[in-house]
């Protein structure tokens, strides 16, 4: 897999002149997003988007009116059928990212092959143009689209439908995508999904926050070119939460209103994957402990020596072996 660095300073010079046309910048994450006072939004092409060039991945339209689409991955070994189905949401702080980004294409191609599963990677709407709950709405719509395809037996989608075990559905994602996976899971808890059966949720370094800072948010030692700093985290929340709210909104901080509020959640078993050097580590552990205390089935896995988004950015020597561990853990979880 290609190594991608978030040190994007060389990319900025090319967009400087263009930026001046739109006046004052009110929010910025260097190399990823720049929001101008006049509403103009720039997203420099730091990470390239790639087309589907093999028979194991294709793009499908879910809703042409909202431009909702997904990239579907199947394992390269053709004999494997009756496979678990993963609906996947990419990271990017709700504000950047794409199901076509090269780093996700490579990671999910590898995951589909090594974990022997079918993956539907959803390209949801981004903030600030579409603030939350737009991404959650898109996530629910994507799962309901999978249900429709399973019921109709669409000839057009047969290339992946024929390989699925729809009674083994998992909702997963990383970073902001894991936040989406969590909220989509809770929304679907009372939905009639047959022939789908939601068996579990995989949250990879889920992006949550809160007004009060945790120890890891304040003091965690960050790897060079960290994918998520505290200041960047704050920008993402300002751009994605509903206007007039703060980081104790339950979409950002599910524990803000107390653990008891989660007692009635009807959720399947959850695996939470936490990088040791991630600023989100303590917040992720707090959520795991809260859910466990309420009798929910939670499996927590820690990845030593790596930081946020290690599985797609490969920005340390330990990233690749830890990614192999992550893939093995996901494979074991979805085949329990």
**Which helix (H) or strand (E) segment is 60 a member of?**
strand 57-63
SS3 176: helix
Q: Is residue 329 annotated as a catalytic residue, yes or no?
A: no
For 116, left (φ over 0), alpha (ψ -120 to 50), or beta?
left
Q: Which two tokens stand for residue 33?
A: 């997003």
Of 90, 93, 97, 126, nearest to 111 by C-alpha is 90
Yes or no: say if 287 and 299 are a contact pair by the CB < 8 Å rule: no
Q: Are strands 57-63 and 68-73 parallel, antiparallel or unpaired?
A: antiparallel
| Catalytic-role residue among 138, 174, 278, 282 | 278
Q: Are strands 269-275 and 33-36 parallel, antiparallel or unpaired?
A: unpaired
Q: How many Å apart are CA 158 and CA 59, to the nearest integer?
A: 14
Q: How many Å apart are CA 105 and CA 142, to the nearest integer?
A: 18
| Catalytic-role residue among 98, 116, 168, 175 | 175
Name residue, tokens 């950002």.
Answer: 252
Q: Is residue 59 annotated as a catalytic residue, yes or no?
A: no
Q: How many Å apart are CA 315 and CA 57, to the nearest integer?
A: 26
Name residue, tokens 């075990």.
Answer: 165
Q: What is the CA radius of gyration of the chain?
A: 19
Q: Is residue 18 annotated as a catalytic residue, yes or no?
A: no
Q: How many Å apart are CA 168 and CA 21, to the nearest integer?
A: 51
Of 34, 38, 30, 26, nearest to 11 by C-alpha is 30
3-state secondary structure 306-329: CCCCHHHHCCCCCHHHHHHHHHHH
* Cβ neighbours of residue 10 closer than 8 Å, sequence gap 6 or more: none
| Catalytic-role residue among 105, 249, 308, 329 | 308
Q: Which two tokens stand for residue 320?
A: 């690749």
Q: State the catalytic residues.
A: 175, 278, 308
């Amino acid at each position: 897999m290609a190594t991608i660095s978030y040190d994007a300073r060389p990319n900025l010079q090319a967009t400087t002149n263009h930026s001046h046309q739109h006046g004052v910048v009110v929010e910025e994450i260097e190399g990823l997003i720049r929001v101008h006072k006049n509403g103009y939004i720039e997203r420099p092409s730091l990470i390239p988007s790639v087309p589907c060039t093999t028979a194991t991945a294709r793009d499908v339209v879910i809703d042409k009116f909202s431009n909702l689409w997904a990239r579907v991955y199947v394992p390269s070994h053709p004999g494997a059928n009756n496979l678990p189905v993963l609906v996947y949401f990419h990271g990017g702080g709700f504000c950047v990212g794409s199901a076509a980004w090269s780093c996700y294409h490579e990671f999910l191609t590898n995951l589909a092959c090594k974990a022997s599963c079918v993956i539907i990677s959803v390209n949801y709407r981004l903030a600030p143009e579409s603030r939350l709950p737009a991404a959650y709405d898109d996530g629910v719509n994507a799962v309901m689209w999978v249900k429709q395809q399973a019921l109709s037996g669409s000839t057009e989608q047969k290339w992946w439908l024929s390989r699925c075990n729809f009674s083994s559905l998992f909702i997963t994602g990383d970073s902001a995508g894991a936040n989406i996976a969590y909220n989509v899971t809770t929304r679907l808890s009372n939905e009639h999904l047959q022939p789908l059966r939601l068996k579990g949720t995989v949250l990879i370094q889920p992006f949550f926050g809160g007004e009060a800072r945790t120890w890891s948010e304040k003091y965690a030692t960050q790897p060079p070119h960290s994918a998520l700093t505290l200041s960047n985290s704050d920008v993402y929340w300002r751009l994605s939460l509903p206007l007039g709210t703060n980081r104790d909104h339950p979409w950002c901080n599910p524990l803000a209103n107390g653990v008891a509020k989660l007692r009635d959640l009807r959720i399947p078993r959850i695996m939470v994957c936490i990088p040791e050097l991630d600023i989100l580590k303590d917040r992720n552990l707090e959520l795991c402990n809260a859910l466990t205390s309420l009798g929910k089935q939670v499996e927590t896995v820690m990845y030593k020596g790596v930081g946020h988004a290690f599985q797609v950015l490969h920005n340390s020597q330990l990233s690749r072996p830890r990614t192999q561990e992550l893939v093995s853990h996901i494979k074991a979880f979805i085949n329990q």
